[in-house]
Structure 1
């Protein structure tokens, strides 16, 4: 347990380092999936490691120590007491951060769904009269696409097809769930914040590629993204951010990157490894506690 329990921390440091490389070299769909999966596994393993470190304090409980002394048993100390106490504090912070992230996600989704109230359930596209250019894919059953009249007015007919194809790709591939999962992972483990940013960008690139394939013109897709960015300014139409504009447009002006599943699988193996080491640490701790507890 002395080493295994800290492995998720090491993986938490490695994932942010490899995520930019995977994002550049691997197809967006594959990269987004493996980075999100690895982040969720690592965050879960890290939280469980904190539970293990906190549980190790049971071996220092006065009744346990007294019983061991009376029986002449030697108590193994898997972790220093200060680390166990720190793990308890960290675990409380993790629970608080995850609860806050869940509340934020729920509020955002409720607010978006309220904008679609009053429309038939089978209506996919909802156009809101607004002078602010915006476009959203709203997950749910059914999923909806919310676009403002200002955004539609800023685009040509061909660019509108790109916009709708982009948002449909978000719904079809459940990008909302993917981003939510990695957001909760980053809430549980702040070290994974860069991985969340990478996945958020990659799902947009994924939707860009899907839109380009559907309309059959990468140039038109790039122009639609550029026009949407100029129209929305610093807003969130097509989830544009100033830093991402040139990267996404440049990517559409080149050939799509290969899937490179071996590299993607190696990243996923990091998350799986963190989970396996946490499981091994659990087994070690159970053995120690069975020897220590009467």
Structure 2
């Protein structure tokens, strides 16, 4: 485990460098899949790497080594990992597992609450209009989900823009964008270095819904105008009631990307030609994911060989 075990951790440092190119240049649906897969794979692999490093420290403890029938002195001689590194890895592993478990619990409760709220909103076509002067619109996951729109938002947009709004929100539901966001956040919870990837997924899902609305209506400029109008109206009326962590809407979810201007970036993207697939970016991401999986498997095999070598002595 001299090099392979550290590769997932090193790649986690490098991966955020590809966030902006993927989210801006690549087709949004493909970018969402790539960013989500990267967050999950790197988050899982880095956690496994921490576990493997921690095990090399555990087998040096005489009591635990005796339980496994491994001579502790042989473990110290055969494994090049410093004990201090193994201890730090163990501490980080505990924190990663705790944070991932907390995120999963919080996300599960949020989605359950959203599903319950959606079930309590009877409607024929999945559209719920709430009497609220604050402009807002969001998709609420459920079985089935609901599109919730405030009267303030309906008054802000004209009739043609209402169709854009509904196309955008229904795209969130049909493509299960909340699942992509949850999975990306899971990887970032296990490995905080991956938070830029999770944040980018909240942006690319909005872009994905924007592109769906543009395809459905056939007018990219009008979709851009609707997104801009909704954002300006929400800025003038900040009161909002959507469920945190469970709802995705035309206004986007507030987060670290808000400071970078996600709405102007979405508008600019809609005013430009549709983005392509960019094979180079796809290939680079595939290489990172393959290298991560290979290095994790190699590190686990190295640990297995180490335990076998110790057991023979």
TM-score (norm. length: structure 1):
0.91
Once the two structures are TM-superposed, the CA of residue 18 in structure 1 deviates from its matched residue by: 1.2
Of stretches 13-22 and 133-142 in structure 1, the one that deviates more from structure 2 is 133-142
* Counterparts of 2:114 and 2:129, CA distance in 1: 13
* Counterparts of 2:219 and 2:306, CA distance in 1: 62
* Alignment root-mean-square deviation, CA: 2.4
Q: How many residues align?
A: 293
C-alpha spacing 1:73/1:86, structure 2 compared with 1 (3 Å):
closer
C-alpha spacing 1:120/1:73, structure 2 compared with 1 (3 Å):
closer
- Matched with 2:290 is 272
* Counterparts of 1:73 and 1:56, CA distance in 2: 8
- Matched with 2:204 is 202
**Equivalent residues of 2:118, 2:142 under 8 A apart:** no
* Counterparts of 1:250 and 1:67, CA distance in 2: 62
Once the two structures are superposed, the pairs formed by residues 129-278 of structure 1 within 5 Å of their partners are 129-233=131-235, 237-240=249-252, 241=258, 243-278=261-296
C-alpha spacing 1:152/1:73, structure 2 compared with 1 (3 Å):
closer
**Equivalent residues of 2:25, 2:276 under 8 A apart:** yes
C-alpha spacing 1:117/1:174, structure 2 compared with 1 (3 Å):
closer
* Counterparts of 1:41 and 1:218, CA distance in 2: 34
**Equivalent residues of 1:37, 1:268 under 8 A apart:** no
Deviations 1:52-91 (A, max 9, x none): 0111123312254896489x99841241111111111111
- Matched with 2:57 is 57
The runs of 5 or more residues in structure 2 that have no matched partner are 243-248, 253-257
Matched, 1:35 2:35: yes
**Equivalent residues of 2:2, 2:80 under 8 A apart:** yes
- Matched with 1:109 is 111
**Equivalent residues of 1:9, 1:46 under 8 A apart:** yes
- Matched with 2:23 is 23
Deviations 1:119-144 (A, max 9, x none): 34764112222222221112232122
Q: Tell me the secondary structure at the aligned position of residue 274 of structure 1.
A: helix
Of stretches 182-191 and 15-24 in structure 1, the one that deviates more from structure 2 is 15-24
C-alpha spacing 1:171/1:69, structure 2 compared with 1 (3 Å):
closer
C-alpha spacing 1:121/1:76, structure 2 compared with 1 (3 Å):
farther
- Matched with 1:290 is 308
Q: Tell me the secondary structure at the aligned position of residue 12 of structure 2.
A: helix
**Equivalent residues of 1:68, 1:75 under 8 A apart:** no
The runs of 5 or more residues in structure 1 that have no matched partner are none
**Equivalent residues of 1:55, 1:84 under 8 A apart:** yes
Q: Tell me the secondary structure at the aligned position of residue 130 of structure 1.
A: coil
**Equivalent residues of 1:38, 1:269 under 8 A apart:** no
* Counterparts of 1:292 and 1:239, CA distance in 2: 58
Once the two structures are TM-superposed, the CA of residue 111 in structure 1 deviates from its matched residue by: 3.9
- Matched with 1:97 is 99
Of stretches 52-61 and 98-107 in structure 1, the one that deviates more from structure 2 is 98-107
* Counterparts of 2:34 and 2:210, CA distance in 1: 19
* Counterparts of 1:113 and 1:40, CA distance in 2: 24
Of stretches 146-155 and 273-282 in structure 1, the one that deviates more from structure 2 is 146-155
Deviations 1:215-255 (A, max 9, x none): 11111101110111012115675134461121111111110
Q: Tell me the secondary structure at the aligned position of residue 128 of structure 2.
A: strand
